[in-house]
Structure 1
Amino acid sequence: MKNFKYLLIMIVALAIPVSSCSTDDDNDHDYHLEYVNVISAELPDEFNHGSTYKIEVTIALPNSCYFYYDQYDYIYDGTTRLIYPIGHVDDGASCNQIITETTFSIPVEVLQSEPYIFKFYQGKDPDGEDMFLTIEVPVI
């Protein structure tokens, strides 16, 4: 009987948190992620080997349904770095068509002696190929 009481208490204790959870959350909304276009990037004329720099990148958010939360893909390809900023896009919301610019920083630690080639995503061309703002920075 004593074990039955403990078992009953444990079942009730576990059932309370489960029953209090609600799947009806007013804060949920539909969204998707997509790459957004880079307008400009500020880089030094040269890097010093072993130093760390912050690259300032300005992007365009095409309308009020786009938000930027400091997310980007930073892809290594030999001495080239491909940078794709990621926008959160609210689906099903009414949006105004005002383009907003925002700037964020990317830390870069200079560990290679070869020049760095940065390619910042700027959308797709008519053939569907990625376009880039390309900037080369020598290392001294």
Structure 2
Amino acid sequence: MGKESRGFTLIELLVGVVLIALLAGIAYPGYTGHVRKAYRAQIVALLTEQAHELERFYTRNGTFIDAGGVSAGNDRYRITVVLNPRDFHLLATPVADSLMVGDACGEFSLTSTGARSNPGAQPEMSRQACWGQ
């Protein structure tokens, strides 16, 4: 008899769900990789900006001591600063419970001499890959 079918069968629905899950499993790691790379670029820019501000303060005052206005960081990284009379050290540490915890680049360190490093970085990550240079 001519029974007309409407909608999806359970098998068709399950095949669709499996395909969506498969595509999401492939796309999500790539997406988070690009997001992490963008967040790394943000912290590198912020550290560089802070270093320039500190250098301007030193030029005006002859010391880094009492330099104000150093950023505390952003939602993904916290910046700590050590100020000495003739040098400084900036360290950006990933914030707990952020996407950057466990990032392959680890922490970002910048000194008054311009030395850039990544304490805690995985061995396969170069300074160039982390700092984008």
TM superposition score normalised by structure 2 = 0.26
Q: Which has the higher strand share?
A: 1
Q: Which has the higher helix share?
A: 2
